[in-house]
Chains A and B, each alone.
Chain A
Amino acid sequence: MNMPASVCIFSEELTYAVTNAIKFRGVEIVFLSAFWMLITGDPALYRIIGLSLYVSLTATLIAALVGLPLGALLALKEFRGRIAAVVFVNALMGMPPVVVGLAVFLLLSRSGPLGSLGILFTPRAMIIAQAILITPIIAALARQTLADLWVQYRDELAAMNVSTAGSVATLLWDGRFSLLTALLAGFGRACAEVGAVIVVGGNIDGFTRTMTTAIALETSKGDLPLAIGLGAVLLVIVIAINAIAWAIRRTGERLAGAA
């Protein structure tokens, strides 16, 4: 089976986009055109932004449900092979999105083991791929955060004879503000990646087109100004989400009276 051509060496295309856009006179006009679409409420653009957020936020939620308890277990449970498991999860943070996309593609293809679900080239397939991609990121970062916390809690929880599940829950609850960083890292990776969603989603206009696959498409059409403009819009959205998350964290910490 061939790998979709459009997913190969995407970073190279982006490099071209950037170098060429700099060559354009009046780069500011370029940015304005994409932001103008944003301000005037171009429905196609809003659908793309909406889908990007829906897919990546859902994937982050799923990855959090799996990754946070997994990270906590790796932090507190002593078992043979723990170091190997930690190294493995850390290594999976570097998994290329395209590889994850391809694996999910082969699973969901009509000729694959889960083909009967018929969800290849749908947003659901994109969520599955992104969730798999970022679960190791959330698990690894959560483990790091919670390992430090565990040092402070271990003796007390042991003295109170708290079960493993109870300890995991306690660590996750008390570390919830610090864990936000792990979630944001996972979300950031999800909404920035193009390799996985373009393979399993197919970049279908009005159905599975996200910000990143739209940027890839506009780049291949040679509309580099629009591609760069969309990139700038994506960046602004990601900054806004990070700012909101940060505000929630600060407010939460103040209300909880934690440092």
Chain B
Amino acid sequence: MRKLKHAFVIGATALALALSQNVVAQDKSIIVASTTSTVDSGLFGHLLPLFKAKTGIDVRVVSQGTGQALDTGRRGDADVVFVHARSQEEKFVADGFGVKRSAVMYNDFVLIGPKSDPAKVKGSKDITAALVKIRNAGAPFISRGDKSGTHAAELNLWKIAGVDIAKDKGPWYRDIGQGMGAALNTASASNAYVLADRGTWLSFKNRGDLIISVEGDKRLFNQYGVMLVNPAKHAHVKKDLGQSFIDWLISPAGQKAIADYKVGGEQLFFPNATVPGA
């Protein structure tokens, strides 16, 4: 009985020690809230070792949809936010949560669909006409439904196409509320259409019968931006470390590293930090 009490006391002490230590230890790391597309496509896996080798800074990436990543920044749970939805990013900065938005790179969205092509849109370069055809044919369509950048882009395209998706959606329109990879898996399992960023699509392995149905429309352009979370709102933000990550991303070295990342010989992201107005 006494043994048990001893065990209890020793265990509790050890635990208290384990939980209290290294709260003080200041490591050289930052948290970056970014999107599923940058992580699932493998871009960060390529960039971060290069950045760490140069600066010794550990970048810890939490991958979320754009809307959620911005929320993480608003709550102060990240030092840097790296996302793709320009109007939301500008609002984030205007509201004082971010210091300044810098353009980093772009890629494009593609409409993915089954080989059998029930809506007859394959090979088209007109994304809005293709969406209208999908709606008219009632062909299965997977929507991210998670307030991500891709979801925002999809809703915007429906709007441009003149379709009021909130009113027009039927059983063919499936809102899954998950990340890009999950949406592609769902489309692959149910032979549905889905809007995806090209990077995630190129590195996605479970394609089944899916192919690119529509690409090359200017309206499918997908710009990424990066922002430091405002230290004036959240005093604990690691301002200097976060800023050095941003500075590196938009420096010639960082921009080259982005351009160098290829999957199957194909470049996934195109650096454009120096393009005015991007």
Binds A, one of B58-66, B116-124, B156-164, B212-220: B58-66
Give CA–CA (A208, B62) in the complex, Å.
10
Give CA–CA (A121, B31) in the complex, Å.
9
Residue among A4, A20, A62, A223 having the largest count of chain B Cβ atoms under 10 Å: A4
Binds A, one of B68-76, B126-134, B267-275: B68-76
Q: Which interface class (under 10, 10 to 19, 20 to 34, 35 or more) fits A?
A: 35 or more
A242 interface hit (Cβ, 8 Å): no
The contact of B182 among A13, A111, A223, by CB within 8 Å, is A13
A205 near B65: Cβ-Cβ < 8 Å: no
**Mask for B11-22, Cβ within 8 A of A = 1, else 0?**
110010011000
A122 CB to closest chain B CB (Å) equals 9
A222 near B181: Cβ-Cβ < 8 Å: yes
Tell me whether A220 and B177 are in contact in the complex, defined as CB-CB below 8 angstroms, given that A65-B11, A202-B62 are known contacts: no
Binds B, one of A86-94, A145-153, A164-172, A182-190: A164-172
Residues of A near B8 (CB, < 8 A) are 65
Residues of B near A223 (CB, < 8 A) are 205-206
Residues of B near A166 (CB, < 8 A) are 1
A202 near B60: Cβ-Cβ < 8 Å: yes
B62 near A111: Cβ-Cβ < 8 Å: no
Write the chain A residue with the least CB distance to B206. Answer: A222
**Mask for A197-230, Cβ within 8 A of B = 1, else 0?**
0000011110110000000010111111000000
A120 near B3: Cβ-Cβ < 8 Å: no
**Mask for B200-213, Cβ within 8 A of A = 1, else 0?**
00011111100000
B173 CB to closest chain A CB (Å) equals 18
A6 near B19: Cβ-Cβ < 8 Å: no
B185 near A204: Cβ-Cβ < 8 Å: no
B76 CB to closest chain A CB (Å) equals 4
Residues of A near B188 (CB, < 8 A) are 20, 222
Residues of B near A170 (CB, < 8 A) are 1
B50 CB to closest chain A CB (Å) equals 15
Write the chain A residue with the least CB distance to B44. Answer: A205
Instruction: List chain A positions with a Cβ less than 8 A from chain B.
Output: 1-2, 4-6, 8-9, 13, 16-17, 19-20, 58, 61-62, 65, 109-111, 115, 117-121, 124, 127, 166, 169-170, 172-173, 202-205, 207-208, 217, 219-224
B85 interface hit (Cβ, 8 Å): no
A4 near B64: Cβ-Cβ < 8 Å: yes
Write the chain A residue with the least CB distance to B146. Answer: A5
B4 near A173: Cβ-Cβ < 8 Å: yes
Give CA–CA (A9, B182) in the complex, Å.
10
A222 near B148: Cβ-Cβ < 8 Å: no
Tell me whether A115 and B71 are in contact in the complex, defined as CB-CB below 8 angstroms, given that A222-B204, A224-B206 are known contacts: no
B181 near A203: Cβ-Cβ < 8 Å: no
The contact of B185 among A5, A61, A110, A219, by CB within 8 Å, is A219
B147 near A222: Cβ-Cβ < 8 Å: no
Residue among A115, A127, A166, A220 having the largest count of chain B Cβ atoms under 10 Å: A220
Give CA–CA (A38, B185) in the complex, Å.
27
The contact of B71 among A2, A117, A205, A224, by CB within 8 Å, is A2
The contact of B1 among A169, A204, A222, by CB within 8 Å, is A169
Tell me whether A111 and B3 are in contact in the complex, defined as CB-CB below 8 angstroms, given that A121-B31, A124-B19, A205-B61 are known contacts: no
A65 near B4: Cβ-Cβ < 8 Å: no
A172 near B60: Cβ-Cβ < 8 Å: no
Residue among B65, B75, B147 having the largest count of chain A Cβ atoms under 10 Å: B75
